[in-house]
């Protein structure tokens, strides 16, 4: 599947889990090993990316369990952040999930990124928690 945004020369592509690893590693956990960036269930998840001028610049993985979908390992290369690229991908993912009759969309969001998720109707749920000294908050949206 490929969807284009010609004004920005962006293409949304479906990926394999292994195709997401380099960006996951570079953006999210650069001090860890590449294996650290793998997630249990990766083989069964949906993986999307955005290519800008044929370069993969953003990735996201969706893990579906019944009528709930969890966003994991959402990352945009630093030099492409703040350009709406990640938002373009989330908008696409939300449309895909609605077509699949998913009722709940959620993620463990890095606390500093929670305002991004709020733009898509996601609300904070629960208390802040930490992964490797990084503060996170659960964000959730129902359809």
Domain contains 140: no
Domain contains 143: no
Domain contains 98: yes
56-114 tens-digit pLDDT: 999 999 999 999 999 999 999 999 999 999 999 999 999 999 999 999 999 999 999 99
Q: Worst-scoring range by mean pLDDT, 4-18, 21-35, 112-126, 127-141?
A: 4-18
- In this prediction, residue 132 carries a pLDDT of 84
- In this prediction, residue 5 carries a pLDDT of 57
Domain contains 44: yes
* β pairing state of 68-76 and 104-110: parallel
Q: What is the pTM of this model?
A: 0.89
Domain contains 133: no
Q: Domain containing 8: what range?
A: 2-108
Domain contains 59: yes
Average pLDDT of 25-32? 93
Domain contains 73: yes
DSSP 89: H
Specify the CATH number for the domain of residue 42. 3.40.630.30
């Amino acid at each position: 599947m490929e969807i284009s945004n010609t004004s920005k020369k962006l293409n949304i592509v479906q990926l394999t889990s292994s195709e997401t690893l380099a960006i996951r590693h570079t953006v999210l956990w650069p001090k860890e090993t590449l294996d650290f960036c793998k997630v249990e269930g990766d083989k069964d998840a949906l993986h999307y990316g955005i290519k800008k001028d044929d370069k993969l610049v953003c990735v996201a993985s969706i893990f579906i369990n019944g009528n709930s979908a969890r966003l994991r390992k959402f990352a945009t290369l630093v030099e492409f952040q703040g350009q709406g690229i990640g938002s373009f991908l989330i908008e696409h993912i939300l449309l895909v999930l609605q077509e699949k009759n998913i009722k709940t969309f959620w993620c463990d969001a890095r606390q500093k990124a929670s305002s991004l998720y709020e733009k898509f109707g996601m609300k904070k749920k629960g208390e802040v928690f930490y992964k490797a000294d990084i503060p996170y908050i659960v964000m959730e949206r129902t359809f």
